[in-house]
């Protein structure tokens, strides 16, 4: 897994996430993809509002 932060402008930073080897052909792909999507939305929410949701319902 790789996280890369890139400054977009003085007030904004982009977070890029890569899970190397995660491919649609893998049995765990749907579960892993859904989990990462949920956690990335939580990180975005935390960055934007100060409140995330790191534990799935």
pLDDT for residue 34: 93
CB atoms within 10 A of CB 29: 12
Tokens standing for residue 57: 């319902």
Estimate to the nearest angstrom the gap between the alpha carbon of 35 and the chain centroid: 9
Instruction: Note the pTM of the prediction, 2 decimals.
Output: 0.75
Predicted confidence band of residue 57 (pLDDT cuts 50, 70, 90):
low
- pLDDT attached to residue 56: 65
CB 35, CB 28: distance < 8 Å = no
pLDDT digit string (tens) for 5-45?
A: 999 999 999 999 999 999 999 999 999 999 999 999 999 99
Sketch the domain layout of the chain as residue ranges.
24-52
Contacts of 22 (CB under 8 A, 6+ apart): 29, 32, 33
| pLDDT given for residue 10 in this prediction | 96
């Amino acid at each position: 897994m790789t996280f890369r932060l890139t400054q977009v402008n003085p007030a904004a930073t982009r977070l890029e996430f890569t899970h190397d080897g995660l491919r649609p052909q893998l049995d765990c792909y749907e579960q892993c993809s859904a989990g990462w999507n949920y956690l990335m939305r939580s990180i975005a929410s935390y960055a934007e509002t100060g409140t995330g949701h790191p534990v799935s319902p």
